[in-house]
């Protein structure tokens, strides 16, 4: 290799892990010639680049079915393959820092550009979300199915969906309807069942003068739901469709804080860990409720174990999927009155036919709050079969 001239900038190594793996060096494509398990090793080191990794941890992650001796031997061999597959700079391999026989770490100071690292960095600022979106060419290493890859792939995919949702809201807020529609369509490529994105696409098409396309968007989605999932669209989506049919205005202005929660609530100080299974179960309940099969759930546990945080995560999840969350509270269980928890809901129903139709179909809502019947003319009395269950509920809360 020719010696680099003093003062010149070394050639930049480009690594792309979104979609199929891609490599460039300088201005040319670089052929990553190595055995198949070398690419997962490279990706693992890059994704864990902030930490010096013990060799046994890396070996177990990459070769979990082998015994310790075999796994460590595989790691040594594939480290050699990795050094050989990446280009030399000034006759040296700069990419992986090897600290004796104990730890490994990707060299953060090496002259390289990595799409995953740039994507994560750009995703931290609302002003650079569109640049981050352009880097996301597909899911992380779709041809690699190691257990550790699955979690990282889902994490980055969720980040991309969040970025697209923010871009849609920003485009609608700024009146850039064409960009909003483009982001909504891109979100549906990665998650075709996101009904909030379907509603965005319908409303934006209509606002851009494509009423037929907006109606076709709903009819195609509803047909796929019935065929593949044997279910119907959410009431909000149906209401949007009916508005399009009647040529009623559907595009609403968006406030700066689209979710209605403050920045501290949107960005918790600590990551959410340890309650993933409970959150999955709560999300399943929300999905059923969104399809018209709602129910009452009670969440109970010892004080300080994270009940409020768990419900906060559910709230963010529901709102990100186009749902509306109403919250009520009382000073203590002894002074609890169910009627107080319904005040916001009662105020809402007076200005929204959509929520009137949802509540009017539920005997539980009508019976548990007698004042609802008087505030909402036309609601029928609940059937006798609901009386016993509701009486038990009232006794529980000392109503």
pLDDT (tens digit, 9 = 90+) per residue, 61-120? 999 999 999 999 999 999 999 999 999 887 788 899 988 788 999 998 899 999 999 999
In a domain, 165, yes or no: no
Q: Give how many domains the chain has, as a whole number.
A: 2
Whether residue 386 has pLDDT greater than 70: no
In a domain, 166, yes or no: no
Given 85, 116, 147, the domain boundary residue is: 116
Which residues in 96-227 belong to E strands, given as ranges?
Answer: 96-99, 103-106, 112-114
Cα R_g (the chain), whole angstroms: 27
What pLDDT was estimated at residue 395?
56
In a domain, 293, yes or no: no
pLDDT tens track for 189-243: 999 999 999 999 999 999 999 999 999 999 999 999 999 989 999 888 998 999 8
In a domain, 69, yes or no: yes
What pLDDT was estimated at residue 392?
57
Tell me the average pLDDT of the chain.
79
Q: CA-to-CA distance for 219 and 232, rounded, in angstroms?
A: 11
Q: Which tops the pLDDT comparison, 24 or 261?
A: 24
Torsion of the alpha carbons at 199, 204, 206 and 212, rounded to the nearest 10? -70
Contact (Cβ atoms closer than 8 angstroms) between residue 183 and residue 160? no
Given 73, 96, 116, the domain boundary residue is: 116
Backbone dihedral angles phi then psi of residue 132, each to the nearest 5 degrees:
-65, -40
In a domain, 372, yes or no: yes
Q: Give CA 65 to chain center in angstroms.
A: 31
% of the chain surpassing 90 pLDDT: 50
Q: Name the least confident of 156-165, 224-233, 271-280.
A: 271-280
Residue 323: pLDDT band by 50, 70, 90 thresholds? Answer: confident
Q: Which tops the pLDDT comparison, 45 or 331?
A: 45
What pLDDT was estimated at residue 303?
57
Q: CA-to-CA distance for 356 and 351, rounded, in angstroms?
A: 9
Q: Is the pTM of this model over 0.85?
A: no
Given 73, 88, 116, the domain boundary residue is: 116
% of the chain surpassing 70 pLDDT: 70
Which residues in the chain belong to E strands, given as ranges?
Answer: 13-16, 22-25, 28-29, 53-54, 96-99, 103-106, 112-114
Residue 368: pLDDT band by 50, 70, 90 thresholds? Answer: very low
Q: CA-to-CA distance for 25 and 10, rounded, in angstroms?
A: 10
Whether residue 372 has pLDDT greater than 80: no
In a domain, 41, yes or no: yes
Whether residue 383 has pLDDT greater than 70: no
Whether residue 3 has pLDDT greater than 80: no
In a domain, 49, yes or no: yes
In a domain, 258, yes or no: no
Q: Name the least confident of 81-95, 285-299, 352-366.
A: 352-366
Q: CATH number for the domain including 102?
A: 1.10.10.10
Q: Residue 364: which domain range? A: 326-399
């Amino acid at each position: 290799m020719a010696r680099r001239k003093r003062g010149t900038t070394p050639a930049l190594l480009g690594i792309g892990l979104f979609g199929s793996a891609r490599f460039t060096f300088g201005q040319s494509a670089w052929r990553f010639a190595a055995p198949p398990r070398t690419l997962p090793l490279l990706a693992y080191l890059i994704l864990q680049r902030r930490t010096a990794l013990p060799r046994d941890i890396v070996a177990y992650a990459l070769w979990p079915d082998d015994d310790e001796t075999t796994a460590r031997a595989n790691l040594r061999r594939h480290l050699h393959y990795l050094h050989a597959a990446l280009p030399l700079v000034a006759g040296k391999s700069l990419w992986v820092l090897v600290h004796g026989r104990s730890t490994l770490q990707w060299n953060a100071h090496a002259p390289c550009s990595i799409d995953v690292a740039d994507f994560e960095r750009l995703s931290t600022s609302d002003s650079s979300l569109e640049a981050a979106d352009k880097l996301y060419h597909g899911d992380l290493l779709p041809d690699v199915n190691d257990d550790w890859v699955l979690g990282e792939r889902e994490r980055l995919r969720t980040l991309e969906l969040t970025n697209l949702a923010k871009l849609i809201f920003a485009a609608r807020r700024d009146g850039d309807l064409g960009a909003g529609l483009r982001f909504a369509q891109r979100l549906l490529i990665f998650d075709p069942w996101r009904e909030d994105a379907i509603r965005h696409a319908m409303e934006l098409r209509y606002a851009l003068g494509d009423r037929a396309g907006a109606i076709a968007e709903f009819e195609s989605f509803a047909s796929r739901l019935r065929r593949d999932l044997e279910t119907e669209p959410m009431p909000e989506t149906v209401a949007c469709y009916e508005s399009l049919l009647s040529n009623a205005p559907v595009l609403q202005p968006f406030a700066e804080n689209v979710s209605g929660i403050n920045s501290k609530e949107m960005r918790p100080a600590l990551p959410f860990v340890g309650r993933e299974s409970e959150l999955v179960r709560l999300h399943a309940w929300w999905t059923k409720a969104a399809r018209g099969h709602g129910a009452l759930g009670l969440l109970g546990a010892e004080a300080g174990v994270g009940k409020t945080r768990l419900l906060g995560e559910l709230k963010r999840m529901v709102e990100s999927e186009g749902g509306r969350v109403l919250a009520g509270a009382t000073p203590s269980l002894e002074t609890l009155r169910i009627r107080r928890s319904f005040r916001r809901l009662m105020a809402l129903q007076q200005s929204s036919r959509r929520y009137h139709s949802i509540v009017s179909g539920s005997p539980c809502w009508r019976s548990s709050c007698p004042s609802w019947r008087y505030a909402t003319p036309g609601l029928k009395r609940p059937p006798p079969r609901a009386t016993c269950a509701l009486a038990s509920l009232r006794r529980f809360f000392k109503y």
